[in-house]
Structure 1
Amino acid sequence: MVNSLAVVALLLAAWFSLKKQVLTRSAGVAMVIMGSVITFSLGIGALILMFLFFSTSSMLTGRSNRESSQTRSLIQVLANGGIPMLAAMGNWIVPHSVWFIIYIACIGAANSDTWASEWGKRSSKLPYHWQLGRRVTVGLSGAISLSGTIASLLGALFIVCCGVLILPIFPKPTFIWIILLTLTAWLGQWVDTWLGGFCQGRFRCSECGCLTDHDTHCHQPAVLVHGYGWMTNSMVNSLASFSSGIAGGGIYLWFLSMNWVPPF
Structure 2
Amino acid sequence: MGNLSFVGGTWVNAFLINFLLIFLGQRLPFLTKKGWIHAGVLGTLLLGSIGWNGWISVCVYLLLGTLVTKIGYKNKASRGIAEARGGKRGPENVWGSAATGCSLALLSCFWPNFLNLFMVGFASSFSAKLSDTFSSEIGKRFGKRTFLITTLKPVSPGTEGAISIEGSIAGLLGSFIMTVFMLNLSIISGLSVAFIVFLSGYLATFLESYIGAMVQNKINWMTNELVNSIQTSIAAIISIFLYLNFV
Q: Would the TM-score normalized by the shorter structure come out above 0.5?
A: yes
Q: Is the 8 A contact 1:6 1:44 kept in 2?
A: no
Seen in structure 2, the aligned counterparts of structure 1 residues 122 and 89 have a Cα distance that, compared at 3 Å, is same
Amino acid at match of 2:164: S
- Residue 233 in structure 1 maps to residue 241 in structure 2: no
Compared CA separation, residues 251 and 130, structure 1 to 2 (3 A)? closer
- Paired residues of 1:27 and 1:72 also in contact (CA < 8 A): yes
1:120 aligns with 2:139: yes
| Match in the other structure for 2:67 | 59
CA distance in 2, matches of 1:142, 1:124: 14
Does structure 1 residue 197 correspond to structure 2 residue 188? Answer: no
Hey, what does 1:246 align to over in structure 2?
237
* Gap change, CA 1:162 and 1:20, over 3 Å in 2: closer
Q: 2:193 touches 2:243 (CA, 8 Å); kept in 1?
A: no
Deviations for 1:109-160, whole angstroms, at most 9, x for unmatched residues?
0000000011112325141113464322221110000011011111111111
- Supply the AA of the counterpart residue of 2:222: M
Q: Write out per-residue CA displacement over residues 153-206 of structure 1, whole angstroms, 9 at most, x where no aligned residue.
A: 111111111112212543xx32x33222211111210111100111101xxxxx
Shift of 1:2: 9.9
C-alpha contact 2:30 2:88 (8 A) present in aligned 1: yes
AA at the equivalent of 2:95: L
The residue matched to 2:94 in structure 1 has which SS?
A: helix
The 1:80–1:33 alpha-carbon spacing in structure 2 relative to 1, beyond 3 Å, is same
Shift of 1:19: 3.4
1:5 Cα deviation (Å)? 7.5
In structure 2, do the counterparts of structure 1 residues 232 and 63 end up closer, same or farther at CA, with 3 Å as the change threshold? same
Choose 1 or 2 for highest CA Rg. 1
Q: Which residue of 2 aligns with 1:216?
A: none
- Aligned CA RMSD, in angstroms, stands at 2.4
Q: What is the aligned partner in structure 2 of residue 77 from structure 1?
A: 94
Contact 2:143 2:165 in 1 (8 A): no
Opposite residue 41 of structure 2, the aligned amino acid is: I
Q: Secondary structure at the match of 1:138?
A: coil
Q: Is 2:79 aligned against 1:88?
A: no
Instruction: Say yes or no: does 1:49 pair with 2:57.
Output: yes
How many equivalent residue pairs? 228
Aligned sequence identity (%):
22
Gaps of 5+ in 2: 1-8
- What amino acid is the match of 1:200? Q
Specify the alignment match of 1:209 in structure 2: none
Distance in 1 (alpha carbons) for counterparts of 2:14 and 2:134: 26
Contact 1:116–1:150 (CA under 8 A) maintained in structure 2:
yes
The correspondence for 1:134, drawn from 144, 149, 153, is: 153
| Alpha carbons of structure 1 residues 90 and 143: separation in structure 2 relative to 1, 3 Å | same
- Aligned residues of 1:195 and 1:236 also touching (Cα < 8 A): yes
Deviations along 1:78-131, one digit per CA (max 9) or x if unpaired, are 100111110111101111211110100000000000000111123251411134
What is the match of residue 206 of structure 1?
A: none
Q: Normalised by the size of structure 2, how large is the TM-score? A: 0.83
Instruction: Give the Cα–Cα distance (whole angstroms) in 2 for the partners of residues 51 and 15 of structure 1.
Output: 15
How many angstroms apart in 1 are the aligned matches of 2:18 and 2:170?
29
> How far apart, in 1, do the equivalents of 2:22 and 2:145 lie?
36
1:152 maps to 2:171:
yes
Task: Name whichever structure is richer in helix by fraction.
Answer: 2
1: CA distance, partners of 2:182 / 2:28: 29
CA contact (8 A) 2:137 2:167 kept: yes
Letter in 1 for 2:238: A
Q: 1:180 aligns with which of 196, 221, 225?
A: 196
Aligned partners of 2:175, 2:10: CA distance in 1, in Å?
A: 28
